[in-house]
Structure 1
Amino acid sequence: MLPGLSDALTPHRLFLSGALHEGAQTILLISPDEPGFWAHVTAQPEFGDGAPDPLDRWSSRVISALAAQFGAQARFPFTGPPWHPFVRWAIDSGQSFESPIHLMVHARMGLWASVRGALVLRMRLPLPAPATNPCNGCATPCTTACPVAALGPQGYDVPACHAHLDAPQGQACRNSGCLARRACPAGESYGRLAKQSAWHMRQFHP
């Protein structure tokens, strides 16, 4: 892939979660490397300065520095418009797939799949071999895990999800993260902490 990239990502508890070609460019997708990412990132200055969006600001600082180091351009899923097509990039990389509940599932991260940013290089680098879709042969417990069936064939019922989180019965989702994501067998070994999921849930449902 890109010489030196893995060594540069490791101190930040990040890893290369996908790569693809677009024309003459190579797009490298950067994701949290668990276990260990949450303890690392919450110890960074952005989480202690009281300003909003600490995770996005940390991602911008670190991945922009990596882009400068490797002569790349940095792209982020939280800046726009224009919004960059991170979900399409992830699926086109052959490492992520559309799950039965229409959320992105990654071969290693399962339904905890996330991308903090991307490096865009003006060259065509060799790509990793495509991964096996973790949903193949799976019993799909994600399809029945949501207590209010907010994730179904018609897509994501956001109002139903928020209403459940407002109710006492939504405590498990609020405190440990989405039950459907937690049910994914592919993500069981990823090491995502409940307190990290709870933090993300607070950003989604203050």
Structure 2
Amino acid sequence: MRSLIESIAAALARDGLILRGGFNITDGEAAPPGLSGAPVKSVLLVGQAGAEPWPHFLRWRENQPQTIVNPLDTWSREVIGAVAKDFGARAVSPSDKPYLPFQQWAMRAEGLRPSPLGILMHPQYGLWHAYRGALLFEDELPVPAVQTAPHLCDACVEKPCLKSCPVNAYSGEGFAYQSCLAHVRGTDGQPCRSGGCLDRNACPHGTAYRYPAEVQAFHMAAFAGL
């Protein structure tokens, strides 16, 4: 017989999504409200590895108005929301306002740390993964313990992710958002628009999960407002 967490994972898998770990809220810790308004006791992160959800998203999009703003967020909310309803959870999204601490949740749930690009480095997926939402439960769940893994960036001496961008968008000083945006929108930004961030693609880890060019182009267009 499946456990609750296994059943949730199976429901998410129908749309190419996966559980990305979770945790229980500790005594005295601030917690967001659940369905009833009471503080939640457990958080399960939902996301993807590689581009598994892409064909599911495309099939959904075929029957939607092309004027939808942020269609991937809309699809994610629908899919995760349906699973939440089936299992008595509250579904939340990284783009919901007021913003919830998704990156802190992710680091806590999977024991990950940020790469120089700000994206969390995963020991298997590299930089090719994402978090699409979370399921909040008012009951405490038997969440598996976090398996700590080495941070791959610590052993990476060359740091190719900081040497491939033509405008040096990423550095020790942070992300030069305006420089990146201007470059992507400009004449010289075609490689980024069609194939994704050059710095991200330069990372040697998790390449088996690298998003296809069309997926990277979709995300780059959303970033640049194209």
TM-score (norm 2): 0.82
Matched, 1:192 2:211: yes
Q: Note closer, same or farther for the CA distance 1:197–1:95 as it changes in structure 2 (3 Å cut).
A: farther
Provide the residue aligned with 1:129 in structure 2.
Answer: 146
Provide the residue aligned with 1:61 in structure 2.
Answer: 78
Provide the residue aligned with 2:134 in structure 1.
Answer: 118
The alpha-carbon deviation at position 166 of structure 1 amounts to 2.7
Hey, what's the Cα distance between the residues in 2 that align with 1:90 and 1:184?
A: 21
In structure 1, which of residues 81, 84, 91 is the aligned counterpart of residue 100 of structure 2?
Answer: 84
The alpha-carbon deviation at position 3 of structure 1 amounts to 3.0
The superposition leaves residues 26-83 of structure 1 with CA deviations (integer Å, 9 ceiling, x where unpaired) of: 2111112434321221111476322222111111111011111122111101111x10
Given that residues 126 and 205 in structure 2 are in contact (C-alpha distance below 8 angstroms), is that contact kept between their aligned partners in structure 1? yes
Percent identity (aligned): 34
Hey, what's the Cα distance between the residues in 2 that align with 1:108 and 1:47?
A: 34
Given that residues 17 and 48 in structure 2 are in contact (C-alpha distance below 8 angstroms), is that contact kept between their aligned partners in structure 1? yes
Return 5+ residue gaps in structure 2 as ranges. Answer: 28-40
Given that residues 160 and 199 in structure 2 are in contact (C-alpha distance below 8 angstroms), is that contact kept between their aligned partners in structure 1? yes
Hey, what's the Cα distance between the residues in 1 that align with 2:70 and 2:156?
A: 36
SS of structure 2 residue aligned to 1:169: helix
TM-score (norm 1): 0.89
Provide the residue aligned with 1:98 in structure 2.
Answer: 114
Paired residues for 1:121-200 under 5 Å? 121-122=137-138, 123-132=140-149, 133-139=151-157, 140-200=159-219
The superposition leaves residues 133-157 of structure 1 with CA deviations (integer Å, 9 ceiling, x where unpaired) of: 2323224321212221111111110
In structure 1, which of residues 14, 31, 38 is the aligned counterpart of residue 54 of structure 2?
Answer: 38
Report how many residues are paired: 205
Return 5+ residue gaps in structure 1 as ranges. Answer: none
Given that residues 13 and 36 in structure 1 are in contact (C-alpha distance below 8 angstroms), is that contact kept between their aligned partners in structure 2? yes
Q: Note closer, same or farther for the CA distance 1:153–1:182 as it changes in structure 2 (3 Å cut).
A: same
